[in-house]
Homo-oligomer: A and B are copies of this chain.
């Protein structure tokens, strides 16, 4: 038994041209590193999804967490749950908190809602990608904003930057069009030691499994 926050991820993903370095437990490892919260990582099998996995995450995805009596899924919900306990991730004043919530949801529902399906159509080889103009429009709005500010909320890093940068740093999105302010933003956010530490830890996790051949 442990009182540490526990993050579940997959037991294995391909190391090349795959999601290693992008599996969404990274968002939660990163948030914990920013907040100075120690955590454990557990896994569920990718190859054969178990009923236990579905009972914890009804779509059969990761991550999900256990934090004391709280067991929740959805990386966005887990981020907000962690952020509300820590001012490193979310300002304590009502306006800063509401704006962090706003931009966290915007990253999920205005940017990622277009970018992930667009990416999905690209990688599944759709003959036409009917989401391209929509993605272009959303990314242009973001580029305009990021050319005028360093951070989304209160002139400081928040969990909303963590999430938006993670949404934008997907390779195909990053190489779609030329957006210098967004690129500088991704660099600025992912240069943070907490990202580096979380990313290294996730890569090590998947590499360790890969090396055993399991």
The interface of chain A, by Cβ under 8 A from chain B, is 58-61, 69-70, 72-74, 76-77, 80-81, 94-95, 98-99, 101-102, 104-106, 108-110, 112-114, 116-118, 120-121, 124, 126-128, 130-131, 134, 138, 141, 144-145
Chain B residues with Cβ below 8 Å from A94 are 69-70
- In the complex, A108→B106 CA distance in Å? 10
**What is the CB-to-nearest-CB distance from A165 to chain B, in angstroms, rounded to a whole number?**
17
Q: What's the Cα separation between A141 and B126 when bound, in Å?
A: 25
Q: A95-B70, A105-B76, A106-B74 are in contact. Are A128 and B126 (CB under 8 A)?
A: yes
* Given A77-B105, A108-B109, A121-B131, 14 new contacts (CB under 8 A): A60-B141, A61-B110, A69-B95, A70-B94, A72-B102, A73-B102, A76-B108, A77-B104, A80-B105, A81-B101, A108-B108, A109-B113, A113-B113, A126-B128
Interchain CB contact under 8 A, B130 and A124: yes
- In angstroms, Cα B94 to Cα A112, docked, is 28
Total copies of the chain? 2
- In the bound complex, residues from chain B placing their C-beta under 8 Å from that of A59 are 106, 110, 138, 141
- Residues in B with CB closer than 8 Å to A110 are 59, 61, 74
Select which of B112, B118, B141 is within 8 A of A58 by beta carbon.
Answer: B141
Minimum Cβ distance to chain B for residue A45 (Å): 18
A99-B72 CB under 8 A given contacts A105-B108, A108-B108, A121-B131:
yes
Would you call the interface of chain A mostly helix, strand, loop, or mixed? helix
Contact assessment for A106 and B73 in the assembled complex, using a CB-CB cutoff below 8 Å: yes
Residue of B nearest to A74 (CB): B105
Q: Please indicate the chain B residues that have their CB under 8 angstroms from the CB of A113 in the complex.
A: 108-109, 112-113, 116-117
The answer to whether B112 touches A98, judged by C-beta atoms less than 8 angstroms apart, is no
Complex CA–CA separation, A112 to B70 (angstroms): 25
With A117-B117, A130-B121, A131-B121 in contact, do A70 and B98 touch (Cβ < 8 Å)? yes
